[in-house]
């Protein structure tokens, strides 16, 4: 087992990475203050792993709330069912909420923990690659609104994160690939060496090799933890983590939550950001092709859906959090391994990027 520390002063916490950590009472118990534990999971994950998790919680009063599975359920109404469960169980401020699931469960359980009685303890047990390398690290929690993704939420840090590599074996292939998109992202924004490491391990990652995935998770989490420690509330460098996300969120919202997986939309978004960078004279053709090739090799989409015209993209991106007083801001690439935030571009460059990145199929 590997232990990383996210350094955030009195909100610091450890990330445990390794095989068969799920029911390990020695890992969980030190991070639970009271007696009351609410496990938040979904209909897909709970049948596979909730009993294993409960085995590590024998000393506690454990309740569970099982949500429907999917990004389309990440909203205020479904969030309220977590509050219902906590209140019906008479859970008080000393309780702990454990998220057992992917990014949607982590975001919702985390926001419920942040908001229940103005904040109770929270533990992340991410069961998807995406959640292990991204959403479980950094304290972003929240729900979607019909007018925009993740528009309602809180920055709220967990007591610990437990990333069990064995659970990836049961992961749906699309979900696995979606997680790999975020792994690639860390290479693109700040770690060219890691990107080359990934390029050399495409078959092993697609086969979900345990040792390779363990290292991929660790290197991703180190990159993310470094950035989050530097900028907890996303006022600066943390924005780089949004590479591909402005385009990607527009695709997710525009197609309807759950039609495109988050990582699929981000994968395409990264190709679009690379293309926009090329049109601004920052990347050359070879670099853009290298990015497209890696994303394609990981069975991820490189082109935006035909259904979304430029007007729809612009409308959806204008409401995205990365917008600053009207002008849409993008994370762009100076080179592979070096990203920056910019709203200094010609509108025509954005429009031609949208035109050229749309699928013809």
Q: Which is nearer to a second copy, 150 or 159 (CB)?
A: 150
Virtual CA dihedral for 50, 54, 55, 60, nearest 10 degrees? 180
Q: What's the rounded Cα separation, in Å, for the pair 351 and 355?
A: 6
Annotate 181-230 with DSSP letters as a single string.
HHHHHHHHHH-HHHHHHHHTTHHHHHTT-HHHHHHHHHHHHHHHHHHHHH
- Owner of token pair 């600053």: 324
d(CA 147, CA 324): 17
Residue 81 and residue 117: Cα distance in Å, rounded?
Answer: 15
DSSP single-letter state for residue 344: -
* 263 close to 182: Cβ distance less than 8 angstroms: yes
Q: In the annotation, is 150 catalytic? A: no
Closest CA to 133 of 242, 15, 41, 48: 15
Nearer Cβ to a second copy (56/142): 142
In angstroms, what is the minimal distance from the CB of 228 to a second copy?
13
Binding mask 209-248 for a second copy (x = CB under 8 A): ------------------------xx--------------
Q: Give catalytic status of residue 31 as yes or no.
A: no
Question: Annotated catalytic, 242?
Answer: yes
321 is catalytic: no
Indicate whether 92 belongs to the interface with a second copy (CB under 8 A): yes
CB 122 within 8 A of CB 152: no
Is residue 118 flagged as an active site residue?
yes
Smallest distance, Å, CB 236 to a second copy?
A: 13
Residues 26-65 that bind a second copy (CB under 8 A): 34-36
- Compare residues 200 and 233 and give the one whose CB is closer to a second copy: 233
168: region left, alpha or beta (phi > 0 left; psi from -120 to 50 alpha): alpha
Q: Is 12 in the site for a second copy (CB under 8 A)?
A: no
Minimum distance, C-beta of residue 164 to a second copy, in the bound complex (Å): 28
Structural contact between residues 154 and 7, judged by C-beta atoms closer than 8 angstroms: no
Catalytic residue, candidates 149, 219, 249, 358: 249
Cα 266 from Cα 184, distance rounded (Å): 10
Q: Is 314 in the site for a second copy (CB under 8 A)?
A: no
- Among 29, 88, 289, 296, which residue sits at the site for a second copy (rule: CB under 8 A)? 88
> Which range, of 1-9, 153-161, 196-204, 248-256, touches a second copy by CB under 8 A?
153-161
Of 118, 311, 325, 361, which is the active-site residue?
A: 118
State the Cα–Cα distance between residues 175 and 102, nearest whole angstrom. 9
Nearer to a second copy, 12 or 80 (CB): 80
Query: Tokens representing 266?
Result: 């981000």
The 3-state secondary structure of 261-298, one letter per residue = CHHHHHHHHHHHHHHHHHHCCCCCHHHHHHHHHHHHHC
Q: Is 158 in the site for a second copy (CB under 8 A)?
A: no
118 binds a second copy (CB under 8 A): yes
Say whether 238 is catalytic: yes
- Cβ-based nearer residue to a second copy, 95 or 267: 95
> Which residues contact a second copy (rule: CB under 8 A)?
34-36, 76, 80, 83-84, 87-88, 90, 92-94, 114-119, 140-142, 145, 147-148, 150-155, 233-234, 318-319, 321, 323-326
* Residues forming the active site: 118, 140, 182, 224, 234, 238, 242, 245, 249, 262
């Amino acid at each position: 087992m590997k232990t990383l520390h996210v350094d955030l002063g009195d909100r610091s916490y450890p990330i445990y990475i390794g095989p068969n950590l799920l029911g390990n009472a020695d890992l969980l118990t030190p991070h639970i203050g009271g007696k009351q534990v609410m496990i938040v999971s979904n209909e897909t994950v709970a049948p596979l792993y909730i009993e294993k998790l409960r085995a590590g919680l024998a000393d506690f009063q454990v309740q569970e709330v099982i949500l429907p599975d999917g990004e389309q359920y990440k909203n205020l109404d479904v969030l309220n069912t977590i509050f219902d469960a906590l209140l019906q169980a008479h859970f008080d401020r000393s309780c702990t909420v454990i998220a057992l699931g992917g990014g949607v469960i982590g975001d919702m359980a985390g926001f419920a923990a942040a908001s229940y009685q103005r904040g109770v303890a929270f533990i992340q047990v991410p069961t998807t690659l995406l959640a292990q390398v991204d959403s479980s690290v950094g304290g972003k929690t929240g729900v979607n609104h019909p007018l925009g993704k993740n528009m309602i939420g809180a920055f709220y840090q967990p007591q610990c994160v437990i990333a069990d590599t064995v659970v990836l074996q049961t992961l749906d292939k699309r979900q696995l690939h979606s997680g790999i998109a975020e792994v690639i992202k860390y290479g693109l924004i700040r770690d060219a060496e890691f990107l080359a490491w990934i390029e050399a391990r495409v078959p092993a990652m697609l086969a979900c090799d345990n040792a390779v995935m363990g290292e991929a998770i660790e290197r991703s989490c180190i990159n993310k933890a470094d950035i989050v420690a530097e900028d907890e509330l996303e006022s600066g460098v943390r924005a780089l983590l949004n590479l591909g996300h402005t385009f990607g969120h527009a695709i997710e919202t525009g197609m309807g939550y759950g039609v495109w997986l988050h990582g699929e939309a981000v994968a395409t978004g990264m190709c679009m950001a690379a293309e926009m960078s090329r049109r601004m004279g920052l990347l050359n053709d070879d670099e853009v092709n290298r990015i497209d090739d890696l994303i394609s090799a990981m069975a991820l989409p490189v082109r935006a859906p035909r259904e979304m015209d430029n007007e729809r993209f612009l409308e959806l991106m204008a409401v995205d959090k990365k917008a600053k007083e009207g002008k849409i801001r993008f994370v762009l690439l100076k080179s592979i391994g070096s990203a920056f935030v910019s709203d200094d571009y010609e509108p025509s460059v954005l429009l031609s990027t949208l035109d050229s990145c749309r699928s013809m199929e």
